[in-house]
Amino acid sequence: MIQRSSKLIAGNGQNVLERSLLKFRNVLNFAPFNPGERFRMIVRPKVRGFICTTAHSAGCAQNIKDQIEYVRRHGPINGPKRVLVIGASTGYGLASRIVSAFGSGASTIGVFFEKPAEGERTATAGWYNSAAFEVEARKAGLYSKSFNGDAFSDQIKAQVVQAIRKDLGQVDMVIYSLAAPRRVHPKTGERFKGVVKPLGKAFKNRALDLETFEIIDVTTEPGTEEERKQTVAVMGGEDWEMWIETLKKEGVLADKSLTLAYSYLGPDITFPIYRQGTLGAAKDHLEATAHKLDETLRPKGGRAFVSVQKALVTQASAAIPLMALYMVILLKVMRQKGVDEHCIQQIHRLYQDRLFSGREIPVDEKGRIRLDDLELRNDVQAEVKQSWEAITTENFKDYADISAYQNDFLRLFGFEVPGIDYEKDVEVDVPIP
Ligand code: NAI
């Protein structure tokens, strides 16, 4: 169960004096006396609304190992060998980096925006994930380099170009998997903020209160034209296009390269809040950008696609509270039918069955790759709809799998991972090598 107010607990691995000295040195920015001398403590989940403010380094590392193991078990994939992943530390981007590296033996460069540990404050999960990824990639003899910074900025783009030129020459695949709440435009300095709102008219529907597990009625007022524009500026395709144009201009994008961004469609019941709302407008822009990029890359044999993925519990999707009711119902239906997938299964299937199967890449009537086939299967959606209509606070458990949701949520932060002893001290200030 989620513990909502538990604190980080200093374990027995270090006494109070040692911890104070270490903390003091950290504050003054002194290097530790020796590399083994890092903060260790018991770390527990600390959940605030839809975010967990702590992360468990050993749990995150185990998550990475489990995903690598899944990919290895399913055999090699004949994919590109030099891959850039933008948004590489969690969710779909992380899974893309893992499948590229451990499925296709690719050298990878990952870009993300995460926080390292500071004193007793743990790093973010994406930081620990990336540290563990780097360790595993090196063990496997694979090149990997990580950039922690704002992917929207010209500065990070320039650093990545330099690294590609120096270490890889060029990249043959670019995955764009950012999910960000805000963006500062690199040319104008304008600040944009994304919102999740319907457009045109208010959306009145039932939703799940994740604090009390009650079904509540929620009315969300429509977003303004300004909010729509700002959400498109954050989550649309402008920055993706900027990345591709920069890589092309600098000569570090190989001919016949492939670029991909992820989108979501969903069923009718979530349309007003997602696909027909501000976020949907951003996805429309992302999909239009895919067509534009495809046209510019095709003359040299390159391709650009959007891939429509399944709804999954990730840090980005957990931040959309109105989606939670749909998610807990969907989880129950898909698990009962044995067709549920996590990020790694989704991306592995994308690579193996769609992108690198040796056949032409299958797309829908709008040119999109579809990995939401199981989520949108008629029998799955028919049951989801029935549950959606029948569910109340009283009969909640009959129609929703809240423990699966909680488990998926906590695992994002390295908690409830099988094989991890959460009563033991764990390293907190883990470096990304
Ligand atoms: P996530 O929250 O797990 O990952 C987001 C990534 O973006 C992280 O690596 C984060 O560090 C990075 N990031 C955020 N702001 C950044 C910045 N300014 N600079 C550099 N890196 C930054 O998100 P998730 O769910 O994997 O989403 C990725 C894409 O997949 C999004 O476009 C999302 O709309 C799409 N998608 C997600 C679905 C879901 O249910 N989770 C379903 C279908 C598509």
Asked, for residue 229, whether it belongs to a domain, the answer is yes
Asked, for residue 98, whether it belongs to a domain, the answer is yes
- Report the C-alpha gap between 333 and 342 in whole angstroms: 15
Asked, for residue 31, whether it belongs to a domain, the answer is no
Which two tokens mark 223?
């977003």
Asked, for residue 21, whether it belongs to a domain, the answer is no
How many domains is the chain built from?
1
Q: Which residues contact 418 (CB under 8 A, 6 or more apart)?
A: 62
CB atoms within 10 A of CB 34: 7
Which residue intervals of 47-152 are DSSP H helices? 57-73, 91-98, 104, 125-139
Q: Whose CA is nearest to atom 18 of ligand 1?
A: 150
Q: Which residues line ligand 1 (CB under 6 A)?
A: 87-93, 111-114, 126, 150-152, 177-180, 262-264, 309, 311-312, 314-317
In the chain, pLDDT over 90 holds for what percent of residues?
82
pLDDT band at 205 (very low <50, low <70, confident <90, very high): confident
Q: Ligand 1 centre from 201 Cα, in Å? A: 27
For a mutational test of ligand 1's pocket, the pick from 109, 128, 317, 409, i.e. the residue with the most ligand atoms closer than 8 A to its C-beta, is 317
Which H, E and C letters describe 190-230, residue by residue?
CEEECCCCCCCCCEEEEEEECCCCEEEEEEECCCCHHHHHH
Asked, for residue 405, whether it belongs to a domain, the answer is yes
pLDDT band at 293 (very low <50, low <70, confident <90, very high): very high
Asked, for residue 238, whether it belongs to a domain, the answer is yes
- Report the C-alpha gap between 44 and 49 in whole angstroms: 16
Find the range with the poorest average confidence among 31-35, 41-45, 106-110, 342-346.
Answer: 31-35
pTM to 2 decimal places: 0.92
Q: Ligand 1 centre from 35 Cα, in Å? A: 32
Asked, for residue 5, whether it belongs to a domain, the answer is no
Give the model's pLDDT for residue 37.
Answer: 62
pLDDT band at 34 (very low <50, low <70, confident <90, very high): low
- Report the C-alpha gap between 174 and 83 in whole angstroms: 6
What is the span of the domain harbouring residue 237?
A: 43-427
Asked, for residue 152, whether it belongs to a domain, the answer is yes
Q: Whose CA is nearest to atom 6 of ligand 1?
A: 87
CATH number, position 184: 3.40.50.720
Active site residues: 274
- Span 35-47, average pLDDT: 82
Report the nearest atom of ligand 1 relative to the CA of 88. 9
Asked if 142 and 105 count as a contact pair (C-beta separation under 8 A), the reply is: yes
Angle at CA 300, nearest 5°, toward 296 and 305? 50
Burial environment of residue 197 by CB neighbours within 10 A (0 to 12, 13 to 18, 19 or more): buried
Q: Ligand 1 centre from 237 Cα, in Å? A: 13
Q: Ligand 1 centre from 91 Cα, in Å? A: 6
Tens of pLDDT, residue by residue over 304-326, are 999 999 999 888 887 776 788 99
- C-alpha distances (whole Å) from 334 to each of 95, 305, 372 are 20, 27, 12
